[in-house]
Amino acid sequence: MTRIGFAYNQKPEPEATDAAAELSRADEEPPSSAGGAHAAVAALVAPAPDDEFAEWDAAETIDAVARALARHGEVIRLEARDDFPERLRAERPDIVFNIAEGLRGPNREAHVPAICEFYGVPYSGSDPFTLALCLDKARTKEILRANDVPTADWMLVRSAGDIDAVVARRWSFPVFAKPVHEGSSKGITERNLAADADALRAIVGDLLERYQQPVLVEDFLPGSEFTCGVLGNGAAARVLPIVGMNFDALPAGALPIYGFEAKWLWDRPENPLEIFSCPARISDVLRAEIEHVVLRAYDVLGCRDWSRVDVRLDANGRANIVEVNPLPGILPDPADNSCLPKAARAAGLDYDALIGAALEAAAARQGVQLGSAR
C-alpha cells in the first residue's frame, strides 16, 4: 500500500472569546493583527488580537483532506512542527501531500518542500522556489512582466524614507497598497485604496509600521474580478470553471474589493453573501482570454499540480494577473465559500476528487504508484 505523508500546520484551539472564535474560521488568508500606535486601524483590519496562526488550517479541513487521501493509501500525519525533519526521515513515506503554510519569514511556504527535497522524498505541489516567489508579490510581478503576462503597473516601498519618492513618481490614481509578503487577505481592506498622494502616504506608512515589510503599490484595476483554479501539469493543466466576483452583493457603498471586510465580516454563515458565481457569467471570448493568461502565469511561475490564480480586468477589459496562490485554500464545507473547491464542484469533482486529482498529478509527475486503501 502506498504510504502518503500528509504535511500541514494545524491551528491551535482558540480561546473561548469572540475574537478567537472569529479567528478559528480563518482557514485561507485572513489579515495579520496589529497593535500599538495604530490600534484604530487594527480594529478595522483584524478582529483578533493575535493571528500568528491565521494561515494554518483548522482540524475540520485537515481531517477532510486526510479522509480524501486515505482513498489512495495509508495516511501518515506529519504536522509541520519543529520535529518535522526527524519524523519525515523516520517515516520515509512514498510521497508527501503538502498543504503546510509555514510560520516564519518570507520563505515560510517553501520550508516543507525544501526538507522533502533534502531527504529525497517526493511531494505534491510547487517547488520551494515557486512557493517563495509567489509569496513575494513584487518578484511575482517582475517574472510575469518579463514574460509578457499582463499585470498592473507597480512600485515597491521598502522603507518610510522611500514613500515621498514613490509618491512623486506616481503617474495616476487611484492605487492600491498591500504588504508584499502576506497572504491575499492580510492587511487588505477598503482603506488600502488611495485616491491621492496624501492618502497613499498615510496608508503606506501604516502598513510599513504594522507589518514590518515592504509595501507593494499598484495601479487599481477597475474591472471585474475572477479567481481561477488550475489542476494538472504541462499540456494537461486545465483551468476549472471560473469563479466570478459579484460586487453588487456587497453592502451599499462598499468598494469593489474582495478584501478582509467582504471575506470575514460581511460574509457570515448565518447571513452569507451571494458574492460568487461559478461558472462566471462571461462571454466565451473573455473566458478564453482569462484561461490563456492564467495558464501562462501558472507556467512561467513554475506552478505544479494545482494553484488558484486571481485575475482582474483593466480599464480596457483585458485580463490581468493579481496574485498566484500555489498553496490554495481548500475549505471542505460548501457554506464557507472556498473558491477552489467551489470551482471543482462546478467541474463535477467533489472534495475527495479534488484532493485526489492534485495527489495523482504529483504522483504521475514523479513516477510514484498510488494504491487504494484496504
21 has pLDDT over 50: no
Residue 45 shares a structural domain with residue 160: no
Lowest mean pLDDT among 231-235, 261-265, 277-281: 261-265
The answer to whether 98 and 125 have CB atoms below 8 angstroms apart is yes
Question: With bands split at pLDDT 50, 70 and 90, how would you rate the model's confidence at 152?
Answer: very high
Angle at 318 between CA 316 and CA 319, to 5 degrees: 145
Predicted pLDDT of residue 24: 38
What average pLDDT does this structure show over 22-36?
37
CA distance 93 to 122: 8
Question: With bands split at pLDDT 50, 70 and 90, how would you rate the model's confidence at 53?
Answer: low
What average pLDDT does this structure show over 130-159?
96
Residue that finishes a domain, picked among 200, 219, 238: 219
Residue 18 shares a structural domain with residue 61: yes
Q: Where are the beta strands (DSSP E) in 232-333?
A: 238-239, 243-245, 276-277, 306-313, 319-325
Mean pLDDT, all residues of the chain: 86
185 has pLDDT over 80: no
Which tens digits make up the pLDDT trace of 307-331? 999 999 999 999 999 999 999 999 9
Residue 93 shares a structural domain with residue 3: yes
Q: What is the CATH number of the domain that holds 40?
A: 3.40.50.20
Residue that finishes a domain, picked among 110, 125, 140: 125
Residue that finishes a domain, picked among 219, 236, 262: 219
Does a structural domain hold residue 98?
A: yes
CA distance 220 to 313: 10
226 has pLDDT over 50: yes
CA distances, 290 to each of 83, 282, 358 (Å): 42, 10, 22
Predicted pLDDT of residue 67: 98
Does a structural domain hold residue 99?
A: yes
Residue 161 shares a structural domain with residue 92: no
Domain carrying residue 177? 153-219
Residue 100 shares a structural domain with residue 171: no
Residue 118 shares a structural domain with residue 211: no
Question: With bands split at pLDDT 50, 70 and 90, how would you rate the model's confidence at 153?
Answer: very high
Residue 180 shares a structural domain with residue 113: no
174 has pLDDT over 70: yes
Does a structural domain hold residue 243?
A: no
Question: With bands split at pLDDT 50, 70 and 90, how would you rate the model's confidence at 26?
Answer: very low
Q: Which residue has the higher pLDDT, 31 or 333?
A: 333
Which residues, at least 6 apart from 162, have a Cβ–Cβ distance to it below 8 Å?
A: none
16 has pLDDT over 80: no
282 has pLDDT over 50: yes
Q: Which residue has the higher pLDDT, 41 or 265?
A: 265
Residue 104 shares a structural domain with residue 34: yes
- Total domain count for the chain? 2
Residue 6 shares a structural domain with residue 69: yes
Residue 109 shares a structural domain with residue 207: no
**What's the grid cell of residue 158?**
521598502
Q: Which of 64, 87, 148, 76 is nearest to 332 (CA)?
A: 64
Q: Which residue has the higher pLDDT, 148 or 34?
A: 148
Predicted pLDDT of residue 256: 80
Does a structural domain hold residue 242?
A: no
Residue 71 shares a structural domain with residue 171: no
Q: What is the CATH number of the domain that holds 195?
A: 3.30.1490.20
Question: With bands split at pLDDT 50, 70 and 90, how would you rate the model's confidence at 251?
Answer: confident
46 has pLDDT over 50: no
